[in-house]
Amino acid sequence: MRPEAIQIIKDEHLAISAVLYSLRYLVREMRKGAGPNFALLRAILDYIVSYPDRWHHPKEDKYLFAAVKRRSHDADALIRRLEREHELGYPMIERLKTDLIAFQRGDAQAREAFFDAAERYAELEWEHLRTEEEVFLPIAERVLTAEDWAEIAAAFRENDNPLFGIKPRDEAEALYQRILALAPAPMGFGGAAGD
Ligand SMILES: [Fe+2]
Ligand SMILES: [Fe+2]
């Protein structure tokens, strides 16, 4: 039977991917001349900070990667790469937040920098999620025991004892709802998304 933790991780990836999709969609529309929706862009960046950065990635580092390292060295190099990608993502979002503020103040250079960095971030993150699902998780499935998976699932499920003294999952859920409320209809949430 497929470990429950794998489904949780894939569901989290799906939520993250959907928000990245909306970010890329908005950048493409703005490049074509659409007016910026700063409240929505801000909500997307806040979501990335509170969900993938404070919740999803640290749980992978602390529970999933740690468990695989205990059982096998097969994925050591891959885990180093994935951990490094988590670390690289944090300052990219900080930079995007700074650029967004300058963009909102009318700085044309910051506007372009924001577009480029947002698209680069989305691509890197998608590639990261894809590598975890297609390369890393099959190795994890091979080396981890049922108890390992149960511990990992418990860690990903828990919401009362978060790592950072807040409830990132609740916060992320509220931000996700805010993104949905602010998003224009063609952004594709809950329906077929055009590219
Ligand atoms: Fe990750
Ligand atoms: Fe992940």
Sorted by where each begins, the domain ranges of the chain are 4-183
Output the pLDDT for position 148. 97
Please provide residue 83's backbone torsions phi and psi, each rounded to the nearest 5 degrees.
-65, -40
Q: Is the pLDDT of residue 192 over 70?
A: no
Task: Evaluate the CA torsion angle 12, 131, 4, 58 in order and state its sign.
Answer: negative
Q: How far is the CA of 49 from the centre of ligand 1 (A)?
A: 14
Does the domain at residues 4-183 carry the CATH identifier 3.40.50.970?
A: no
Q: How far is the CA of 38 from the centre of ligand 2 (A)?
A: 27
Q: How far is the CA of 77 from the centre of ligand 1 (A)?
A: 14
Q: How far is the CA of 33 from the centre of ligand 1 (A)?
A: 34
What is the rounded CA–CA span in Å between residue 143 and residue 156? 19
Where is pLDDT greater, at 86 or 182?
86
pLDDT digits (tens, 9 = 90+) for 50-70: 788 888 999 999 999 999 999
Distances in Å between the alpha carbon of 189 and those of 34, 76, 81, 104, 192?
A: 19, 36, 31, 25, 8
pLDDT digits (tens, 9 = 90+) for 115-168: 999 999 999 999 999 999 999 999 999 999 999 999 999 998 876 455 555 566
Output the pLDDT for position 166. 57
Q: How far is the CA of 30 from the centre of ligand 2 (A)?
A: 29
Q: How far is the CA of 112 from the centre of ligand 2 (A)?
A: 28
Q: How far is the CA of 76 from the centre of ligand 1 (A)?
A: 14
Q: How far is the CA of 130 from the centre of ligand 2 (A)?
A: 9
Ligand nearest to the CA of 81: 1
Ligand nearest to the CA of 9: 2
Specify the 3-state DSSP secondary structure of 192.
coil
Q: Which residues surround ligand 1, an ion (CB under 5 A)?
A: 60
Q: How far is the CA of 107 from the centre of ligand 1 (A)?
A: 33
